[in-house]
Structure 1
Amino acid sequence: MLAAVNPVTICRLQEFPPTSKLDSKVYGYQTSAITKEYIEKYLSGLSIDEVMFLRRLFILDHHDTPMPYLSRINKTSTKIYASRTILFLNEDGTLKPLAIELSLPHPDGDQFGAISKVYTPAEEGVQNFIWQLAKSNVVVNDSGNHQLMSHWLNTHAAIEPFVIATNRQLSVLHPIYKLLDPHFRDTMNVNALARQVLINANGALESTVFPSMEMSLKVYKSWVFPEQALPADLIKRGMAVKDVNSPHGLRLLIEDYPSAVDGLEIWSAIKTWVEDYCSFYYKTDDMVRDDSELQSWWKELREEGHGDKKDEPRWPKMQTREELIETCTTIIWIASALHAAINFGQYPNGGYPPNRPAMSRHFMPEEGTSDYEELKTHPEKALLKIFTSQFESVLGISLVEILSRHLSDEIFLGQRDSLDWTSDTEPIEAFKRFGKNLKEVEDRITKRNKDEKLKNRVGPVKMPYTLLCPTSEEGLTLKGIPNSVSI
């Protein structure tokens, strides 16, 4: 969750018990069934009120997104739940799962609310295996959320309108075109291929992850461009608070949060580069407002590229240098570092299907059934029967291995495919500083990975977090930030 395949969905729990944003008139009562009685015994002697005040409870919330679709999905061979997972921040900075809630729509109709069951940790006997199965069901949800939302929607799909608007409205000689063009390389090609074989009906994703592209369309309704900036995203999820005395102006509530710690350094490097570059070409806010190409670009992007979001009030107005810098930084962040953090750890972290199943074929075994008895005697067999089939597993492994590889012609952040992209000396020197800055970031990442006090950077399998190291070689390396969404 903090340094794995999908590190961008965990949130700080801000109310207990967790509530739902689903329309109660349509979906009934959806507030969580997790009460303090389930978890207080795991809180190291603290009460719910105390750990909430100390900001030590977190949640992996995969409830509202799948719930409206469960009745349809579960009529197929796929059998999944909506889920909520409550986690506790230990003194050593690691997270411990305290309770998992698995929910289904009421059998008499969605309007009657959810039927939920809560599972808590167990270390012995059949209850231990039940707990393992509950965690696996959460992973199924997280796998679907990762591929459809974190990966496809928030990087591949979100960046595509920027590619189109840039090529339609900005001259190749325009300074913002020159700034952004490397970050759009091959994106349209890979998205077209994805629509043909991955996200199409009965495609690879719908065959190996729960089958509902509609979910990503629903989630897009709450997509807000400024919130795609890393600092804004961390604040929105409650993972950080503004603090002028902390690096990058943010204080992380989990100090050892690898993707955020490394990400903020990459974000800062990108923003410094963009600020240096834009400040050379735009000396005043008036120059931004008076640039007709730039204004046409931004108008098309909002009104056509993300047309169904055109009335979203939080779009930057593109009237100041600050808005231009923040916008370009966010675009580059999405296309490069965010995609790298989401994509290139898929095979190393999730390529073993029993560890990260993408689909479930059976519901949780109920006491008194033959499946429950099998869980007592042959737990591994029961696990394999419940989750992704052999064929689907092979297909999933092949897919994530391909997606996790760097191409032979990859161009990484801080690099260009041509040395004559501009004749202006100051931007060239600023770009050289950008590359040097990224090298220093990579050195600090390497140093942090050797710090034994940071428990989340390496984990029990002793695999260091390197996804946001900027450079890499060709192949399956678990590191490297390409300039663009190109695979």
Structure 2
Amino acid sequence: MVEYKVTVFTSNLATGSTFNNIFIKLVGTDGESKQTWLKSLKGALCFIRGSVSCFTVSCPTSIGKLVLIEIDKHSLPLFPEDSWFPAKVEVKSPEGDTYNFPIYRWITDSDVHRFREGTALTILEDNHHLGRYSRQQELKQREEDYRWAVYREGMPHCMKTENPLSLPCEVRFSFTKTTEFLYTASTGLTELGLKGLDRYKESWTDIDDINRVFCCKQTDISDYVQEHWKEDAFFGYQYLNGVNPMLIRRCTALPPNFPVTDDMVFIRGQCSLADEMEKGNIFLCDYKRLDGLKPNIINGKKQYLMAPLILLHKTPVDKLMPIAIQLKQIPADDNPIFLPTDSEYDWLMAKIFVRSADFNEHQLNVHLLRTHLLAEVFAVSLLRNIPMVHPLYKLLVPHTRYTLQINHLARLLLISEAGVFTKFAASGGDMMTILTRSLSSMTYSSLCIPDDIAERGLEAMPNFYYRDDGLKLWDIIHRFVKAILSTHYKTDDEVQQDSELQKWIGDIFEHGFLSQACTGIPQSLTTVTELVKFVTMVIFLGSAQHSAVNTGQYDYGGWMPNTPISLQLPPPTTKGTTSNATMLKTFPDVNTTVQGMATMWLLSKQSSDFVPLGQYPVNHFTEEIPHKIITDFQGELEVLSAIIKARNKSLEVPYTYMDPVVVENSVAI
């Protein structure tokens, strides 16, 4: 008889314990053990949360190199079946070899569950018949568990699920996440309900009254916004380092529908638009995706949503200043071009309509579509097509954490017919038009920050911290991805011949980008370089990019006048007709304001089980080389974090959203 020493590690999750009986079978290249009941002197405490328990499995002879283990769980008579979350199993063979089997998933039934030995293997490297059979069976089950569904025509497809509890256990929120999410949502709405603000359908009569909303939930930046929201320099700054740094681009020629002249924007002819454009000092923001939308009706009142064009000028002291605003796309006598030289409230109202347009563009295109919905596509395709033993699964699965459930909740609570965004945002009644327009105009290059910055002509823009931090993060992630994948893909042929990899990218092209070749999204992967870039984009989008466009929502939207969710008077058609009273009547009603602010508070709130970028409490890699690569990755992130913190000490408004310590590994909120 020979003995195998089996060590079982149960995770430290709050509900991860089991008091059921656990059985194991070891399967090797030369045979398999009998199904063995794992029992010890610990008794029922063997598999409680955080426990490490050791057992012995005996075999008549050696079963060779271990390929997989089979685990099943059975409840005791008269006891209910419970759920168990094992982290991993370690097996030491009689020959002295140690095998690791990462699990990190819920076992909720009495079925047999198979787990591969932890060495990462592509399908080309997986030569044993048992291993190939195991990965085929795993993917067959995954295709049943993770099925595609069409939420709305023209949008990326999503996972088919009826409610959060119908999601597979391994992709649901933890107990901690669930509890804190519900607590944050309920306390915010309770605070507003106690004040009666959530039911008050009247206009604001004094701008200072807005302070009563979430008066105890200000942040340093939201306080700064409240003090500086009217200033042109801060208006321009937000296009670089606010929550929507994705719209601004260098202007080399004025659009024909934006007839700005030198006399309008440069007093006394001190310079010209042509000269400033040639120098790279003129920038354009165009909200054409919002043109022609049917605005919402809120509290029985028609709302207004413009599709403005904004011209900005980089001054000699490196401030980005708005110099012209046209609120509708088609020039007309009743569509004046507003200028900083206009009356205080004419100019301020023009900026308010821009900021409201930016809220709707940001939420639907930049935030929902380009991070949440695409991250779900990447996650579902991974879980359907790539087995746990594959290096791509091990690399990407930490970046799918909680994404499927948070997106289900978004569809349920935010963009459904009764959702907050549908009911209270200016674009809520026509949001699908924006989403379909956005997807049809999306390009692969716009999802890759080095390409995107170059295409928008922003390489030399000063004080652009989103770009500075984002490019550094991209490079760090790219080096990490290249180091991991290059250990398995030595040649381009190996990429082309990996059928699982090709099915993964094919599903993304079909279900994420609706088979639109014009997006530039690859339909297949042909080179190692192409694979590394695409995987870098997937990780960057679900971590750094999401943090950049999500984390600061309450910072910049906690003072409603800076980011109105909707506006309920039309913009002025002639100059000299606006006032403070006009502004207050134009702002959203009190209940609309507080619903928007409560939502932004919830979406900006970090969970205590947040996992920062580069940290892997659930580590599927078991070999020494990937562990060394991960350590190097973490070291580079620490250095970047220190650089960002040092820079921020000298900034009036610190830019923290791409500091690796606040960037979450996945789209989880």
TM-score range, shorter chain: 0.7 to 0.9
Please state if 1:65 is matched with 2:255: no
What does the per-residue CA deviation read over 1:377-417, in whole Å, with 9 as the maximum and x for residues that have no partner? xx1x4322111111011111110011111111111101012
CA contact (8 A) 1:288 1:321 kept: yes
For 1:482, the equivalent position in structure 2 comes to 664
Instruction: For structure 1, list consecutive stretches of 5 or more residues without a partner in the other structure.
Output: 20-30, 107-112, 240-251, 452-457, 472-479
Partner SS for 1:354: helix
The 1-side partners of 2:575 and 2:499 are apart by 71
Distance 1:119 1:202, change over 3 A: farther
Contact 2:334 2:573 in 1 (8 A): no
The match for 2:608 is 408
Map 1:18-57 onto structure 2 (within 5 A).
18-19=255-256, 31-41=257-267, 45-57=270-282
SS of the equivalent of 1:81 reads coil
| Equivalent residues of 1:42, 1:98 under 8 A apart | no
- CA deviation after TM superposition for structure 1 residue 339, in Å: 0.3
Equivalent of residue 223 in structure 1, options 422, 426, 442: 442
How many pairs were matched up? 427
Indicate whether 1:233 and 2:452 are aligned.
Answer: yes
Matched residue, 2:583: 383
| 2:421 counterpart letter in structure 1 | L
- Please name the residue that 2:487 is paired with: 280
**1:176 correspondence with 2:392:** yes
The Cα offsets for residues 351-393 of structure 1, whole Å up to 9 and x where unpaired, read as 1102221211002346699xx47x1xxx1x4322111111011
Kindly provide the amino acid, as one letter, of the partner of residue 197 in structure 1: L
C-alpha displacement of 1:42:
8.5
2:571 aligned residue (354, 357, 364): 364
Q: Which residue of 2 aligns with 1:269?
A: 476
CA–CA distance in structure 1, aligned partners of residues 384 and 318 of structure 2? 48
Identity of aligned residues (%): 30
2:405 aligned partner: 189
Decide whether aligned partners of structure 1 residues 133 and 313 sit closer, same or farther in structure 2, where only a CA change above 3 A counts. Answer: closer
CA distance in 1, matches of 2:612, 2:541: 14
1:217 is displaced (CA, Å) by: 1.2
The answer as to 2:660 corresponding to 1:470 is yes
Native 8 Å contact 2:509 2:523 kept in 1:
no
1:400–1:330 distance in 2 versus 1, CA, 3 Å: same
Check the 8 A contact 2:478/2:533 in 1, yes or no.
Answer: yes
**Residue 201 (1) aligns with residue 417 (2):** yes
1:71/1:411 CA distance change after superposition, 3 Å: closer
Is the 1:317–1:323 Cα contact (8 Å) retained in structure 2?
A: no
Query: How far apart, CA to CA, are the structure 2 residues paired with 1:367 and 1:293?
Result: 61
Q: Which position in structure 1 is the counterpart of 2:54?
A: none
Q: Distance in 2 between matches of 1:40 and 1:70?
A: 36
- Out of 630, 635, 638, the residue aligned to residue 431 of structure 1 is 630
Deviations 1:209-233 (CA, angstroms, capped at 9, x unpaired): 2222121111110112243010111
**Correspondence for 1:256:** 463
Residue 4 of structure 1 is matched in structure 2 by 242
Question: Which stretch has the larger CA shift, 71-80 or 281-290?
Answer: 71-80
Aligned equivalents of 1:146, 1:367: Cα separation in 2 = 28
Task: Give per-residue Cα distances to partners, 1:48-69, cap 9 Å, x unaligned.
Answer: 111011010001211x211122
The AA in structure 2 aligned to 1:469 is D
> What is the TM-score of this pair, normalised by structure 2?
0.61
Per-residue CA shift, 1:319-368, capped at 9, x if unaligned? 11101100000000110000000000010122110222121100234669
User: Is the Cα contact below 8 Å between 1:155 and 1:339 reproduced in 2?
Assistant: yes
The separation in 2 between residues aligned to 1:146 and 1:195, in whole angstroms, is 17
Q: Label 1:206 to 1:287 Cα distance change in 2 as closer, same or farther (>3 A).
A: same
Larger Rg: 2
- Residue 122 to residue 226, structure 1, CA distance change in 2 (3 Å): closer
After superposition, give the CA deviation of every residue in 1:257-301 in whole Å (9 maximum; x if it has no partner).
010011111111111110111111112212111212111212222
Structure having greater relative contact order (Cα 8 Å, sep ≥ 6):
1
Q: Could you tell me whether the CA contact under 8 Å between 2:309 and 2:329 is conserved in 1?
A: no
* Whole-angstrom distance in 1 between the partners of 2:562 and 2:503: 48
DSSP 3-state at the match of 2:621: coil
Quick check: 1:399 aligned with 2:581? no
Q: Offset of 1:100 from its aligned partner? A: 0.6
Q: TM-score, normalised by structure 1?
A: 0.83
Q: Deviations over 1:58-85 (max 9, x none)?
A: 01211x2111225888996112222111
* Counterpart residue identity of residue 353, structure 2: N
Describe the shift of the 1:411–1:42 C-alpha distance in structure 2 as closer, same or farther (beyond 3 A).
Answer: farther
> What's the offset of the Cα at 1:141?
0.3
Name the structure 1 match of 2:646.
447
Q: 531, 550, 563: which is aligned to 1:324?
A: 531
One-letter amino acid of the structure 2 residue matched with residue 482 of structure 1:
E
Matches within 5 A, 1:62-211: 62=287, 64-70=288-294, 77-103=302-328, 116-122=335-341, 127-210=343-426, 211=428
**Cα separation, 1, equivalents of 2:561 and 2:351:** 11
Distance 2:320 2:362 in 1: 20
Give distance in 1, aligned partners of 2:294 and 2:460: 34
**Residues of 2 paired with 1:395 and 1:73: CA distance?**
15
More helix by percentage: 1
Q: How far off its partner does 1:253 sit?
A: 2.0
Q: CA deviation at 1:470?
A: 1.0
- The letter of the residue matching 1:349 is Y
Asked whether the equivalents of residues 558 and 597 of structure 2 are also in contact (C-alpha less than 8 Å), the reply is: yes
Instruction: Output the CA distance in 2 between the equivalents of 1:258 and 1:190.
Output: 28
- Provide the C-alpha distance between the structure 2 equivalents of 1:72 and 1:392, rounded to a whole number of angstroms: 12
Which residue is equivalent to 2:115?
A: none
Match of 2:599, SS state, is helix
**Could you tell me whether the CA contact under 8 Å between 1:67 and 1:104 is conserved in 2?**
yes
* Aligned-pair Cα RMSD in Å: 2.3
Partner SS, residue 560 of structure 2: coil
**Structure 1 residue 207, shift from structure 2 partner:** 2.8
Higher strand share: 2
